[in-house]
């Protein structure tokens, strides 16, 4: 989808991909109906009302305002990007002597990637040379130690489940107070979970005698493994993944509540990604990139030119890519905030996608909803949480860390005290207000992706 030059190849692949698992469609239809029935039995008008009551958003109206406001504000940026992609495809069609018939869903990734390559000359094989795993992990750990006021000690010969796993103790930087443990399981192997995630192994809590049970967490990932002749080299996206997943690790370790229930697993669904997304911002800071990135052979720091190109490419296609996220969130709400249990989940998917993403669909009767796993994987009426948390993390970053300086110790301490320490023991909106001094908004997020708001 990203590299195939022939449009028909991309089209056929999309049709095949969105024709998978047709047996899931009646299951989704049934789930929508049963969820609505259960919500009504509990006194709610829709399933979304039932689900959102305990989240930051509190009700469907808040989610719809959030999504629709972003949809409207992203319009100008998306139009500009769409024009650039359309020009690329028109040129391709003209060179091939073919008629231009519009932009389709199977065109998005191909022409977005082409625009990025042509405008910024970013080659992944060039970038990887400057991100050897050992140096990146060391640099990322240093960032977290400085930002959060912590000290990490690597455990020699730890009791772990595989020789590749590393174990660390976490201490307060300014004293001998122990905080907890974390494990790094970073390389692939047979039978291992093949995505990146953080698993809380033990939650912290206060024992009846007043002493503390200390938390522990494990980060699982599948980065390239070093060999005897070559180090593991990371893509820049891998660096962002490390920063992100460590955010979950320290959200868990820095929570300090009386009850284990209010640790990471008790944080509201629409806030749990915000602390991890916050630290991704460090991966776009030129000063941080210079600190993390050295050539794996020569030890030379990453060239200024490459840093500039990486940062410049950050927002390429951000308007259209965020519209895709808005589509997924609004589709989820459309089938879960309805009072009609017989809503046509396939027709609605096709219609909303074309309206929101600006790309035309196929004439064939496909249904991408059949493999939209979030809908039956715990994110029903809650897909919005990804964009919601991203907006709030941008507000925290721009309004406090960026303003006061990334190395400002007071900002880091305020962040630990007001955002991480309460865990799920209080509403995350209250935590945001205490940290920001006001209610959060989407202005910093829009600015961060290059979208003019005024």
Q: For 381-419, write each residue's pLDDT tens digit.
A: 999 999 999 999 999 999 999 999 998 999 999 999 999
Comparing CA positions, the residue from 276, 278, 266 lying closest to residue 200 is: 266
Question: What is the C-alpha to C-alpha distance for residues 106 and 18, in angstroms, rounded to an integer?
Answer: 11
Q: What is the mean pLDDT of the chain?
A: 94
Q: What is the pLDDT of residues 153-162, one digit of tens each?
A: 999 999 999 9
The answer on pLDDT for 253 being more than 80 is yes
Do 416 and 149 touch, CB atoms closer than 8 A? yes
The answer on pLDDT for 352 being more than 60 is yes
Structure tokens at 263: 């640790």
pLDDT, mean of residues 236-264: 95
User: Look-up: residue for tokens 């039956």?
Assistant: 376
pLDDT, mean of residues 34-39: 98
7-122+316-380 has which CATH code? 1.10.1370.10
Residues above pLDDT 90, as percent of the chain:
89
Burial of 421 (0-12, 13-18, 19+ CB in 10 A): middle
The answer on pLDDT for 453 being more than 70 is no
Comparing CA positions, the residue from 173, 51, 108, 135 lying closest to residue 357 is: 108
Question: What is the C-alpha to C-alpha distance for residues 202 and 210, in angstroms, rounded to an integer?
Answer: 18
**Cα dihedral 51, 53, 57, 59 sign:** positive
Q: Please give the pLDDT value at position 389.
A: 94
The answer on pLDDT for 224 being more than 60 is yes
DSSP at 228: T
The answer on pLDDT for 432 being more than 80 is yes
Domain extents for the chain? 7-122+316-380, 131-304
Residues above pLDDT 70, as percent of the chain:
100
The answer on pLDDT for 446 being more than 60 is yes
The answer on pLDDT for 142 being more than 70 is yes
Q: Which of the residues 49, 81, 245, 418 is marked catalytic?
A: 245
Bridge partners of residue 216, in order along the sequence: 181, 202
Please, which pLDDT band fits residue 451 given cuts at 50, 70 and 90?
confident
Comparing CA positions, the residue from 110, 99, 104, 139 lying closest to residue 3 is: 110
DSSP at 214: P
Strands 205-206 and 212-213: antiparallel
Question: What is the C-alpha to C-alpha distance for residues 378 and 373, in angstroms, rounded to an integer?
Answer: 9
Lowest-pLDDT range of 182-191, 291-300, 363-372: 363-372
CATH value of 131-304 in 3.90.1300.10, 3.40.710.10, 3.40.390.10, 3.40.50.300: 3.40.390.10
DSSP state letters, 185-216:
E-S--TTS--S-EEEEEE--EE-TTS-EEPPE
The answer on pLDDT for 364 being more than 90 is no
Please, which pLDDT band fits residue 454 given cuts at 50, 70 and 90?
low
Please, which pLDDT band fits residue 67 given cuts at 50, 70 and 90?
very high
Q: Is 86 an annotated catalytic residue?
A: no
């Amino acid at each position: 989808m990203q590299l195939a030059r022939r449009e028909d190849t991309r089209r056929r692949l999309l049709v095949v991909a969105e024709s998978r698992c047709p047996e899931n469609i009646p299951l989704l239809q049934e789930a929508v109906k049963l969820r609505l029935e259960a919500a009504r039995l509990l006194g709610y008008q829709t399933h979304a009302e039932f689900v959102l009551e305990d989240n930051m958003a509190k009700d469907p109206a808040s989610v719809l305002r959030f999504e629709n406001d972003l949809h409207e504000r992203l319009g100008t940026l998306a139009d500009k990007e769409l024009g650039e992609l359309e020009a690329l495809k028109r040129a391709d069609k003209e060179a091939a002597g073919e008629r231009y018939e519009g932009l389709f869903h199977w065109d998005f990734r191909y022409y977005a990637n082409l625009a990025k390559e042509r405008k910024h000359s970013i080659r992944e094989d060039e970038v990887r040379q400057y991100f050897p795993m050992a140096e990146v992990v060391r640099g990322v750990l240093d960032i977290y130690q400085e930002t959060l006021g912590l000290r990490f000690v690597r455990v020699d010969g730890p009791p772990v489940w595989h020789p590749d796993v590393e174990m660390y103790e976490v201490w307060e930087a300014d004293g001998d107070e122990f905080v907890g443990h974390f494990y790094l399981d970073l390389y692939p192997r047979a039978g291992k979970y093949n995505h990146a995630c953080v698993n809380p192994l033990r939650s912290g809590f206060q024992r009846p005698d007043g002493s503390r049970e200390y938390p522990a967490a494990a980060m699982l990932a599948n980065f390239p493994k070093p060999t005897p002749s070559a180090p593991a080299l990371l893509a820049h996206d891998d660096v962002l993944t490390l920063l992100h997943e460590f955010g979950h690790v320290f959200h868990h370790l820095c929570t300090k509540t009386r009850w284990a229930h209010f640790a990471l697993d008790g944080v509201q669904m629409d806030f749990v990604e915000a602390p991890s997304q916050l630290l991704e911002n460090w991966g776009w800071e030129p000063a941080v990139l210079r600190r993390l990135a050295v050539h794996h052979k020569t030890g030379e720091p990453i060239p200024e030119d490459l840093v500039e190109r990486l940062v410049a490419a950050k927002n390429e296609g951000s308007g259209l890519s965020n519209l895709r996220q808005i589509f997924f969130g609004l589709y989820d709400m459309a089938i879960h905030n309805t009072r009609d249990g017989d809503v046509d989940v396939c027709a609605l998917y096709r219609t909303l996608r074309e309206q929101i993403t600006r790309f035309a669909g196929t004439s064939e009767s496909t249904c991408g909803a059949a493999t939209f796993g979030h809908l039956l994987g715990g994110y029903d009426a809650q897909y919005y949480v990804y964009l919601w948390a991203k907006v709030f993390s941008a507000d925290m970053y721009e309004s406090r860390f960026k303003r006061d300086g990334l190395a400002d110790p007071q900002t880091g301490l305020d962040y630990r005290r007001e955002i991480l320490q309460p865990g799920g023991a209080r509403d995350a909106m209250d935590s945001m207000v205490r940290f920001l001094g006001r209610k959060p908004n989407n202005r910093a997020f829009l600015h961060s992706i290059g979208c003019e708001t005024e």
